[in-house]
Every structure is written in C-alpha cells, then in structure tokens.
Amino acid sequence: MKQRTIAKEATVSGKALHSGAEVSLTIKPAPENTGIVFKRTDVFGKPEIKPHISLISSDLVRNTGVTSGHIKLHTIEHVLSSMSGMNIDNCIVEMNAGEPPIMDGSAKAFVQMIKEAGCVEQSAESEVFELREPVSITDGNRSVIALPYSEGLRITCTSADDRGTHTQHLSIDIDPDSFENGISSARTFTVYEDIEPLLKIGKIQGGSLDSAIVIKGDKILSKEPLRFKDEFVRHKILDIIGDIALLGVKLKAHIIAVRTGHSLNAKLTAEIYKQMLKYKSADVQKVEKKTSKQPKEQVVVSTETTLDTRRILDLIPHRYPFVLIDRVEDVIDDTEIIAIKNVTINEPYFQGHFPGNPVMPGVLQLEAMAQAAGILMFKRMDGTDKLAFFMSADKVKFRKAVKPGDQIRIHGVITKNRANKVICAKVECSVADTVVSSAELMFSILDVNEAP
C-alpha cells in the first residue's frame, strides 16, 4: 500500500473540550515519511510534535495526550483516528492551542476536512506491522486484547457503564469506507454523574450537549437523535483507532475490547510497540545472517544528506532539554557530517552557568559533538533499533568561550569502524570559522534490546 497525504490545506475552528479555548486547526500536505505532525503555532518557534506512544502523557482522563519537552498536546485522539481511518500517512496539523476543537464530539468534521482537501498517493510504501503474538491488558472488569489477524484491522468492542445499562457490542473491519460511514460520526458521551467531578479537576470546560451525549439513568440527553442505535460503542472504536495510531505505523490485528478507555488503550499500544521493535530487530538479524556469508559492499538505505529537527528526533533518543543539534547541513559519503547548534539565551543551563556572564558549558559542547557523530553512525546503519553508547573522549580541548548568539558548526569524521560495533570519530566545533572545541570520541553500538 502506498503512502498518502492530502492535496491542499483545509481549516476548521471551534471550542476545545477540556480547556474551553477557541481553537483553529489547519491540515496541510506533507512529504513522504513525515507521518502525522502537529505544529503549535501559538508557541514561539512553532515547535512540532510527532505523536508517538513513547511520548504518551500521564494524564489520560477522558483524552489522549503526548508531551515532548515543554510542549504538550492533548485530546488528539479524534484527529489521529481520522487520519488513520482515512489512510492518511503524512500530514502537518497546525493548531493555535494545545488541544484541537471538539466540534460535535465526533471525528466527522475532520473527515470532512480530509475529503475537502483531497488525497494524493505518494511513491513510498506505507509501513505496516502485522501482530505476531497475542497481547492482553486487563484492569478489573475492563480489558483489551490484540490477536494476530492478517487481513487488516478488525475491532470488536463491548461498551457498558457500571450499572450494566446501555450495553452495546460491535465488530467491524476498518477501512476508509467503514470508518467514514460507520465510525467517524459517532459522538463522545458521558454519564451525568461524572460531569461535576470532571469539572472539579479542570476537565470538560468547553463541553456541552453540542459536543457530547449525556446518559442520565435510562435517559439519553442529546440535541439530536442518536446517529446509530449503537453510537456509544462506535465512539469507543473511534477512540481505539486514534490511540493505536500512536504506533506510527499501520497495524494488522484483531482488537477485542471490553469497557476500555484511553489508559488501557495506551498500555495495549505500548505492548504492541514493544513487540514491533522485537520482531524488527529479529528480522534485521536474519537478513544480516543471510548476507554476511556473501561479501557485499555495504548498502546504506538512508540517502538523505540534510536533516531538519524532525528527522534528527527520528534518529536520536534525546529530547528536550538535551537535544543539542538543530540541523544537519551535509552528510558526505556516510563518513563525514556537518551539523549546526544555535546557542540562544533561552538555553536552560545559562541560568546557572553563569548569571551575568552566560557561557555554554564545555561538557555540553562535548555532548553536541557526540550527538552529531551519533547521527552520522545511525544514518550509516539506517538507524533502525540502534543505540550509541558514549565510551570515551580523548584529546578534548576547549579553546574559546561559546556565548548566547553564537552558531556552532560541528564537523565530524569517522576515523575507525570495527564491524559497526565500535566506532571512533574526530569532531570539531567552530564559531565564525574559529575552532572553539574538539575531541576524539569512541562509541559502542548496540541493538535496542541489548541495551542495559
């Protein structure tokens, strides 16, 4: 299956469910292999976050959220569900707040946006993970299970409240048609008795009967009739699709859920992601064993020679405030790298190093050198499921102070490579063509599952 993006921009505006803020959301086309990326236009620098299960927030009460450094997103499950359900692989989602508009409590408006924008097939193949082993998460009378299923994504769900009323059940195979017509317009719902406790903890400040269905005893409070006789379970399935979209790839599996919620869905997604990493690593090792008997020139899968911040974050495990590379300007023959670190007065370490005379610590210049060299190593090995452990630094020299406003140009060259297990590099940092620091570094390269 080929990757897809949208053909043009589309925008919606409305009130956010939990904050109550007025929000504008715009979707824009994105290149292959971008993924679904959210851009906070209300924050200085317009930072981007690519939602992933590794960034999941600890607050999963009536929403799914992610955190990267000081930037947060929450209640993004309906947007992610729409992108996944409509087979959109690559898209930039711009928002002037940390939470999308809730609209009518369903994903209908976001699906309409996607259809209005149109879909474009791209040349790259979509990444698909087919579940190999069953995964089960249980919490009291709530459970969610994923079983191997080679035909695609099937979801079987049972929804019920604590009193056992309004119990609903549905099993459905998910594709763009079934999602649009059978899932996307199902609205969120809540039990009347839960409203006051949620308001007390700062939730649903923007909630109303315009954006949710309220269950009060045997009565259903809604501004319009139910869109489906089993609308509640259909909305539960909508949420499941959005939550498992945090895998970052398409999933082939049969998910069976009973009274599940965002927290349980997140735990399931995390366990599926662990299995995905495990089998990716095993598959790579099989290929290596097959090819090791035949002397061949090393094939470098990644051919990018420049990397923006988003691609850098795809390659290295570091996150705010420890990402010390802003851009990669060039990669030469997979043995040489030129990277940039912009030093600003906003760097957190300047508060204490030193007040009144801010100077970038030498140890962080050394870390920036290590990250640049690490990026070069990961690209050389295509970066898949690898970690670089800093073993030693030799001939370290600091020649000149680095201060706010400086732009560090980092030049690294691989000098030794022992079977992609131990790699040495010589790295220099320059400001305005003057070398400010340098070092010879040694790394040990391990598979993720080998890391201590």
Catalytic residues: 262, 353
Neighbouring residues of 380: CB distance < 8 A, sequence distance ≥ 6: 300, 334, 335, 414, 420
Helix (H) and strand (E) counts for the chain? 8, 24
User: Helix (H, G, I), strand (E, B), or coil: what is residue 315?
Assistant: helix
How far apart CA 191 and CA 194 sit, in angstroms, is: 6
The CA-based dihedral angle spanning residues 230, 203, 94, 42, taken in that order and rounded to the nearest 10 degrees: 170
Q: Which of 135, 59, 54 is nearest to 98 (CA)?
A: 59
Q: State both tokens at 48.
A: 């981007």
DSSP annotation of 55 = G
Q: Residue length, the chain?
A: 452
Cα(248)–Cα(312) distance, rounded to whole angstroms?
A: 16
d(CA 23, CA 382): 39
Specify the residue for token string 């051919």: 303
Q: Containing H/E element for 49? A: strand 48-49
32 neighbors 139 (Cβ within 8 angstroms): no
Cis geometry, peptide bond prior to residue 354 (ω within 30 degrees of 0): yes
415: number of CA atoms within 13 Å, CB side? 11
Report yes or no: 405 and 358 within 8 Å, Cβ to Cβ.
Answer: no
Would you call 290 exposed, middle or buried from its count of C-beta atoms within 10 A (0-12, 13-18, 19+)?
exposed
Sign of CA dihedral 211, 213, 216, 219: positive
Tokens encoding 20: 């109550």
CA–CA dist 181, 217 (Å, integer): 29
Residue 416 and residue 225: Cα distance in Å, rounded?
Answer: 70
Q: Burial-class residue 428 by CB neighbours within 10 Å (0-12, 13-18, 19+).
A: middle
Residues 6+ apart with CB under 8 A from 307: 315, 327, 328, 331, 375
